[in-house]
Structure 1
Amino acid sequence: MKILGTAKFKEGTLPVKYLGVPLITTKLKATDCVPLIDRITKRVKNWTNRSLSYAGRSQLIQSILFSMQVHWSSLFILPKKVIKEIESILRAFLWSGSDPKTHSAKIAWDSVCAPKNEGGLGFKSLDIWNKAAIAKHIWYLFSGGEVSMWCQWVKSYLLKGNSFWKVRIPTDPSWVWRKLLSLRNWMSPLLTHKVGCGESIFLWYDNWHPLGPLWNKFGDRIMYDSCLNSETKVNQIIEGHSWKWPIPNSWEI
């Protein structure tokens, strides 16, 4: 209270907004995303009194309306209800323009989001885009991330030297961390490692070998037979340009 009195601040409660998005301590709810939906709806209403062709509305969706959710999608896994509501607004604006209730959709939205060379309009699927935008945080963990305070904090306090692919989900994880861990099976085949010195690549769990992650291929047996633990790095089994297995010929990969 002394600090509040000295600094002339008012004590607030969460959630509050920071850079346009809510600061929350729990799971993101659909009600937290109302400001985002309201912004998109308001922008659409500003255009509905104009005579726009399908091509004009399509361009506005891709260049303006879609970009309005990019910041949110880069920070949160949006609730499915919110994604459906945003796509409903975009769909209604595309097909009906000034009077969204007069016409139904001419083509399924999934078909509209298909690439142009497949007959669609090239719109991005909000669900896939959201996953891809969040997945960049996982990519930062493997691409260095020395300049990211978040990456350094995750490595020091959450991973603690363990592989991201096999670290256990804590009993009381934050909602964001739990969501990132839930994307591991989806992301693992998409991240490949080019071996240099190999000192930062996990031998069993990272996707560096042509067969993919070796643990996924062979299971715990390969670790038992090779006498190498789960924290072994690639540089520990390479000497010059040759393999250096502790037990020669135990495995040929």
Structure 2
Amino acid sequence: MANEALDSRLKDNIPGLLLKMDIEKAFDHVNWDFLMEVMSKMGFGHRWINRMKWCCSTATFLILINGSPSGLFRSSRGLRQGDPLFPYLFLFAMEALSQLLSCARNGGFISGFRVGGRGREGLIVSHLLFADDTLIFCDADANQLQYLSWTFMWFEAISGLKVNLSKMEAILVGEGIPMETLASVLGCKIGSLPTSYLGLPLGAPYKATRVWDTMEERFKKRVCARLEKIQRDFLWGGGALENKPHLVSWKVICAAKKDGGLGIRNLATFKKALLGKWLWRFANENESLWKQIISSKYDLQEGGWCSKGARDRHGVGVWKAIRNGWENFRSHSRFIVGDGTRVKMGAEAWEENEVGGSWGLRFTRHLNDWEVGEVESLLSKLHPLTIRRGANDSLRWKENKNETFSVKSYYSSFSRAFKPSFPARTIWMPWVPIRTNFFGWEAAWCRLLTIDRLKRFGLEHPQQVINDLLNPTGQNLRIREDSQGTYVEGIKEEVVLSPAHALSLIAAGEVVVPTMNETPCVH
């Protein structure tokens, strides 16, 4: 949200100020009476308010003097850090500051940044709060800064929370304004773009390398490739990251165990699944501020389920990357028609309902004889599709039984096309050692390191070493070669509840090593 608001201001080419605010000893100075009054204004009952006041006021403290606890006393204000309840109470206190800033914006004392595009009026964003981390957007005007200083004084008087002006930063958005004069109004420091907010870059190009140097969460394609290489080397190198032959393709390994893989997540695919959560939230969270900002800037598609696509240089790359996944996301969802105001007939997949009104079609002209059949076909399709008055249209997720989006189900949908016939239950047995299971998995894919395969990799080993390599369980496995190729002879008899049990079921006599393909050789 902060990046979108800042981007809009820069594109409008209007100078402005970005204020990064800090609260001095935030939890320690909260006035209890003020906090209880805020809770009362928010609609909490007297019984609940009294309980919260009891939680705040009954704690006692000891001071260590020369290593000995002494001086038992009670506090008269503040919230204890580390208590799981008090961060939420602190948010109630900061809500008062948010309301004061909103009143200042509505009264015209501060302007905020206009977020919008393509000729629309836009949405005014004056501040963003996350706990005590606060951003304030205003014009580069000394009068507005003076109003803000008064607002901070009023907030301190009623809540006990003081704005730490020595740590506060005033950052110029745009050019041509002397910052020294403006910063002196508040007595704060002067900052510059790009900066950071909540640990993320703010005001920098989305693809700029320098701003992501300290961030490990931002995975580029080449970073994903490098991390996957580390995973592959770890898997095939026995945990030592050695450069050993990779016997099975990474695509197969990332498939689910029931589909012949190892269930390791593909990082690039997992990223797409995580971004899908924001598309689901956009379609369902109509009152969220972040959705209002995105909607105001990019405009909405018909129905309001997603924003329109961004133009070349319009907007910030974060939402562009999320928006690019809409078409694939849409293919895994369906619409439930309520009053029909958000679902376009003929363009969306409607879901049949059993209750509702009836269709009364009105044509702009009389039908020709050859059109009667087509109209009858249309009516037959419309008959089960009904309108439920008073109910809203909704988006449902196809991949879950409860029809609610989950990252897990979306990730699974990406690998659904990979469905070989694989004896997963035969291989992955809980009573068999995992090393034996893994050996059986390799055998099922015909990827054992036989003599001809070792030669193909340019490795020359004595016969005994090869036997040890093929035989991690200590059972009798034999190698024989003929004109047709190399074979691994397995155990014929079935030994129940032993490591050889899995191998006997997998080998079933002989496991042939054919050409390199992606089809299991055991069924």
TM-score, normalization by structure 2? 0.31
Rounded Cα–Cα distance in structure 1 between residues aligned with 2:198 and 2:307: 33
Which amino acid in the other structure matches residue 26 of structure 1? P
Query: Is 1:133 paired with 2:133?
Result: no
Q: What are the residue-to-residue correspondences of 1:11-160 with 2, within 5 Å?
A: 11-14=191-194, 16-28=195-207, 32-37=211-216, 69=217, 72=218, 78-96=219-237, 99-146=240-287, 148-160=288-300
Shift of 1:134: 1.1
Rg larger in structure: 2
Preserved CA contact (<8 Å) 2:234 2:242: no
Match of 1:185 in 2: 327
* Secondary structure of 2:313's aligned partner: coil
Q: 1:171 to 1:109 in 2, by over 3 A?
A: closer
Rounded Cα–Cα distance in structure 2 between residues aligned with 1:190 and 1:183: 12
Which amino acid in the other structure matches residue 324 of structure 2? S
Q: 1:131 to 1:24 in 2, by over 3 A?
A: farther
Identity over aligned pairs, percent: 23
Rounded Cα–Cα distance in structure 1 between residues aligned with 2:187 and 2:231: 45
Preserved CA contact (<8 Å) 2:301 2:308: no
Q: 1:180 to 1:208 in 2, by over 3 A?
A: farther
Rounded Cα–Cα distance in structure 2 between residues aligned with 1:113 and 1:200: 38
Match of 1:43 in 2: none
Rounded Cα–Cα distance in structure 2 between residues aligned with 1:31 and 1:93: 30
Shift of 1:129: 1.1
Preserved CA contact (<8 Å) 2:294 2:307: no
Preserved CA contact (<8 Å) 1:145 1:151: yes
Shift of 1:183: 2.0
Match of 2:188 in 1: 8
Rounded Cα–Cα distance in structure 2 between residues aligned with 1:104 and 1:158: 49
* Secondary structure of 1:243's aligned partner: coil
Specify which structure has the higher proportion of strand: 2
Which amino acid in the other structure matches residue 153 of structure 1? I
Rounded Cα–Cα distance in structure 2 between residues aligned with 1:241 and 1:130: 43
Q: 1:85 to 1:166 in 2, by over 3 A?
A: same
Query: Is 1:245 paired with 2:385?
Result: no
Deviations 1:62-120 (A, max 9, x none): xxxxxxx4xx5xxxxx4321221222233333333664244343432222211011222
* Secondary structure of 1:198's aligned partner: coil
Deviations 1:215-240 (A, max 9, x none): xxxxxxxxxxxxxxxxxxxxxxxx94
* Secondary structure of 2:201's aligned partner: strand
Q: 1:31 to 1:85 in 2, by over 3 A?
A: farther
Rounded Cα–Cα distance in structure 2 between residues aligned with 1:32 and 1:92: 30
Which amino acid in the other structure matches residue 279 of structure 2? I
Query: What RMSD over aligned residues (CA atoms) do the two structures have, in Å?
Result: 3.4
* Secondary structure of 1:192's aligned partner: strand
Q: 1:171 to 1:87 in 2, by over 3 A?
A: closer
Q: 1:181 to 1:105 in 2, by over 3 A?
A: same
Q: 1:103 to 1:171 in 2, by over 3 A?
A: closer
Alignment equivalent of 1:172, drawn from 273, 294, 313: 313
Which amino acid in the other structure matches residue 336 of structure 2? K
Rounded Cα–Cα distance in structure 2 between residues aligned with 1:166 and 1:204: 20
Shift of 1:191: 2.0
Shift of 1:143: 1.8
Preserved CA contact (<8 Å) 1:30 1:82: no
Which amino acid in the other structure matches residue 12 of structure 1? S
Preserved CA contact (<8 Å) 1:91 1:105: yes
Match of 1:40 in 2: none
Shift of 1:168: 5.2
Preserved CA contact (<8 Å) 1:189 1:207: no
Shift of 1:194: 1.4
Preserved CA contact (<8 Å) 2:283 2:306: no
Rounded Cα–Cα distance in structure 2 between residues aligned with 1:29 and 1:189: 33
Rounded Cα–Cα distance in structure 1 between residues aligned with 2:210 and 2:336: 43
Preserved CA contact (<8 Å) 2:255 2:263: yes
Preserved CA contact (<8 Å) 1:135 1:183: yes
